[in-house]
Structure 1
Amino acid sequence: MDFSRLQHTSKIGDDWVYPAAKPLRSGHLTVDADPAHRIYWEEYGAPDGEPVMVLHGGPGGACSPEMARFFDPARYRIILFDQRGCGKSEPNVAAAGPAVALRHNTTADLIGDINKLRDALAIDGPMHVFGGSWGSTLAMAYAIACPRHCASLILRGIFLGAPEDLHYLYQGNAATFEEAPFALTAPGAYIHYPDEWRALLAVLTPAERGDVMASYKAIFDMVPANDAERERQQAAALTWSLWEGTISNMIPESAATGKFGDADFALCFAQIEAHYFANSLFLEPGHFLDNAHILAAIQIHIVHGRFDEVCPLTQASRLVAALRGVGAEPATYVITNAGHSAMERENALALTAIMDGLPRL
């Protein structure tokens, strides 16, 4: 049978509007002591252009040069940086371990880092804040804390981080999986990605599946005493990373795992995510909806994939309803025929179109 005509990817591929580029400059900025957190940053585009602060996902997802391609390099001054503990920032969870790299690593710390980076790069006025997934979470948290610094929020794949949102992604039917692996006992991403779900649960014993996130965190927090424990910890991190990386695309590309299949990336990504999720993102419950009146005073643009299984569309729906509840309407609300990733073709093109159409500062 010939299946060659079937769609094999939902990623943007060669359809980018703006070409790949190298950073104009880069560096490390010391933002804390004990440990001495140093965040890595890069700058692209026009040195005197409108500043855009790009916030990556995860937490722990790190930046890549491809993230600069959403923006017209002749108009925007594009700032990418790796948040604490991941990417090229130091100390790195994979190299220094979580006991060091996760100290002083909270949402409030990251908000402070953005302001320190603003100061170091002499960004004085309002800037565009661009983030997807956890990056949307951090962007909104930053806007609530520092609304005067935000000219606009450009948000993709809204992540509110409520318990129900995390249970959808990580718990699903796990508690009953051993007896009824195909039973639809609870909502969850497992419904659409059964093979990947089986791999995620295979790391755990049936008893550990009663609380998937807590059981994974216990593995990540373990100080390995032997090779077997070390291998289990690494396997758990890789499996956690591949689960989210694979289901981020409407059409999974299991043969091309990208950064999610890299051992060091996986250790950072999995352990930082588990750290933030176990601590409710270091935010009060309902933080974003309760502060919708602050967000409503900022121009907000939202892109969300209809088929997003990492952050289901209901999260964007809740945010938009909260904004409307205080008398505001998003400047843009686009629901694409795409999954979660910013690199999904429709998401990438929608984000680029929004940036091209923003009123000039």
Structure 2
Amino acid sequence: MDFSRLQAASKVTDEWKYPQGRPNRTGMLPVDQAPDHTLSWEEYGNPDGEPVMFLHGGPGGACAPVMSRFFDPGRYRVILFDQRGCGKSTPTVASHGAAVALVRNDTDHLVADINRLRDALGIRGPMHVFGGSWGSTLALVYAIRHPEHVASLVLRGIFLGTREDLLYMYQGNAAVFDRTPYALSEPGAYVAYPDEWKAFVEVIPPEQRGDMMGAYKAIFDARPDDDVGRRAQLRAAVAWSVWEGAISNMVPETGDPGKFGEADFALCFAQIEAHFFARNLFLEPDYITRNVARIAHLPIHIVHGRFDQVCPLTQASRLVAALESVGAAPATYVRTNAGHSAMEAQTVLALTAIMDGLPRL
């Protein structure tokens, strides 16, 4: 029996409303020295249109041209850029090592980088800020600190990044996995993805599985000086990356993990995520929910997959409750029958419809 169509059932195919365009221009923006952090950026759509700042996920992910397709190219000026250490920005973990690429790679600096890019591209008034997963976190933090620069927030797959959110994704039943691998002993994404979870857990020895994030971080913090050590570090990075890539889709990929299995992407993605997660995203506890009053006047649009296992729907529920507590219910709150990925068909349709329906600036 051919299961190929079933396997792709939740993915976007011909649902895109707008064609893939080519960038109007691209560039590299220096934002720091020693190390010389430089951001790769691209501009799509109408050069004179309403500006949209696109914030990718991770932390540690990257942008791709397909991300410009959520937006009407006749109306919007869309800015895609790779955050510090990510994608085509430099330096990266893969090319320069973590000891260089992770220096001053934190939330405060990423927020400041958005303003540097704004200024460099001549964006003077408010802009739409569009972000998913970690991009939603960064968008919310940016809006809390610079509400005067934000016309609207369009957010997908809300990520608040509390300890319990991270344990759900990375800890699960790992502590007892060697004895009872299918025990539902703790909440976690492993419940829906047992085979993928097995591959992620078994990288770490049983005696270290009481703290999976800490065990992975120890591997990433090592500075291997031989091929054996480098291979072990790469294996861990790929396992971390592939785990997240697999559970991002309601119907996981079979056989081809895509970019998540590529060495350079995995090294950057896994090590930057572990770097941020070990430090609570460089934010005070409950920073976003405690500061939502600062963005109560902004139109906030939320799209979240009901079956999201990277950022479970309860994270959106907590954000909505915090907004409502200050009298600022979201302008839109759509729960799609989808997983976490921005490329799930229902999520694509919802986000595109929201952008089409925004009042013109």
TM-score, with normalisation over the residues of structure 1?
Answer: 0.98
Could you tell me which residue of structure 2 aligns to residue 179 of structure 1?
179
Could you tell me which residue of structure 1 aligns to residue 193 of structure 2?
193
Structure 1's unaligned 5+ residue stretches are: none
Could you tell me which residue of structure 1 aligns to residue 237 of structure 2?
237
Alignment of 1:159-178 (within 5 A): 159-178=159-178
Which residue type is aligned with residue 74 of structure 1? G
Could you tell me which residue of structure 1 aligns to residue 355 of structure 2?
355
Alignment of 1:259-270 (within 5 A): 259-270=259-270
Which residue type is aligned with residue 139 of structure 1? A
1:197-227 deviation per Cα after TM superposition (whole angstroms, max 9, x unaligned): 0000111000111100010011011111322
**Partners in 2 of 1:74 and 1:256 — Cα distance?**
35
**Partners in 2 of 1:102 and 1:221 — Cα distance?**
11
Cα pair 2:7 2:252 within 8 Å, conserved: no
Cα pair 1:42 1:79 within 8 Å, conserved: yes
Answer with 255-264 or 282-291: which moved more: 255-264
> Relative to structure 1, is the Cα distance of residues 254 and 154 closer, same or farther in structure 2, using a 3 angstrom cutoff?
same
> Relative to structure 1, is the Cα distance of residues 236 and 46 closer, same or farther in structure 2, using a 3 angstrom cutoff?
same
Q: CA deviation at 1:43?
A: 0.2
Cα pair 1:91 1:101 within 8 Å, conserved: yes
Q: CA deviation at 1:7?
A: 5.5
Could you tell me which residue of structure 2 aligns to residue 48 of structure 1?
48
Which residue type is aligned with residue 116 of structure 2? K
Q: CA deviation at 1:9?
A: 3.0
**Partners in 1 of 2:41 and 2:10 — Cα distance?**
29
Q: CA deviation at 1:295?
A: 2.1
Could you tell me which residue of structure 1 aligns to residue 135 of structure 2?
135
> Does 1:304 find its partner at 2:304?
yes
Cα pair 1:9 1:253 within 8 Å, conserved: no
> Does 1:288 find its partner at 2:293?
no
Query: Aligned residues: percent identity?
Result: 68
TM-score, with normalisation over the residues of structure 2?
Answer: 0.98
Which residue type is aligned with residue 123 of structure 1? I
Could you tell me which residue of structure 1 aligns to residue 15 of structure 2?
15
1:261-309 deviation per Cα after TM superposition (whole angstroms, max 9, x unaligned): 1110000000000000001000000101100111222110000000000
Could you tell me which residue of structure 1 aligns to residue 73 of structure 2?
73
Q: CA deviation at 1:3?
A: 4.8
Alignment of 1:97-176 (within 5 A): 97-176=97-176
Which residue type is aligned with residue 258 of structure 1? G
Could you tell me which residue of structure 2 aligns to residue 217 of structure 1?
217
Which residue type is aligned with residue 16 of structure 2? W
Which residue type is aligned with residue 54 of structure 1? F
> Does 1:33 find its partner at 2:33?
yes
> Relative to structure 1, is the Cα distance of residues 2 and 78 closer, same or farther in structure 2, using a 3 angstrom cutoff?
closer
1:305-357 deviation per Cα after TM superposition (whole angstroms, max 9, x unaligned): 00000000000000000001111110000000000000000011100000000
**Partners in 2 of 1:93 and 1:144 — Cα distance?**
29
Which residue type is aligned with residue 165 of structure 2? D
> Does 1:82 find its partner at 2:62?
no
**Partners in 2 of 1:9 and 1:3 — Cα distance?**
10
Which residue type is aligned with residue 293 of structure 1? A
Cα pair 2:7 2:253 within 8 Å, conserved: no
> Relative to structure 1, is the Cα distance of residues 296 and 195 closer, same or farther in structure 2, using a 3 angstrom cutoff?
same
Alignment of 1:339-354 (within 5 A): 339-354=339-354
> Relative to structure 1, is the Cα distance of residues 305 and 221 closer, same or farther in structure 2, using a 3 angstrom cutoff?
same
Say which SS state the counterpart of residue 140 (structure 1) adopts.
helix
**Partners in 2 of 1:4 and 1:205 — Cα distance?**
35
**Partners in 2 of 1:229 and 1:98 — Cα distance?**
15
Which residue type is aligned with residue 130 of structure 1? F
Cα pair 2:37 2:84 within 8 Å, conserved: yes
Could you tell me which residue of structure 2 aligns to residue 246 of structure 1?
246
Give the superposed CA RMSD: 1.0
Say which SS state the counterpart of residue 207 (structure 1) adopts.
helix
Which residue type is aligned with residue 213 of structure 2? M
Could you tell me which residue of structure 2 aligns to residue 315 of structure 1?
315
> Relative to structure 1, is the Cα distance of residues 144 and 3 closer, same or farther in structure 2, using a 3 angstrom cutoff?
closer
**Partners in 2 of 1:193 and 1:154 — Cα distance?**
29
Q: CA deviation at 1:166?
A: 0.2
> Relative to structure 1, is the Cα distance of residues 81 and 2 closer, same or farther in structure 2, using a 3 angstrom cutoff?
closer
Q: CA deviation at 1:4?
A: 6.4
Which residue type is aligned with residue 306 of structure 2? R
**Partners in 2 of 1:152 and 1:132 — Cα distance?**
14
**Partners in 2 of 1:179 and 1:313 — Cα distance?**
30
Cα pair 2:246 2:252 within 8 Å, conserved: yes
Which residue type is aligned with residue 265 of structure 1? F
Q: CA deviation at 1:127?
A: 0.1
Cα pair 1:9 1:252 within 8 Å, conserved: no
Structure 2's unaligned 5+ residue stretches are: none
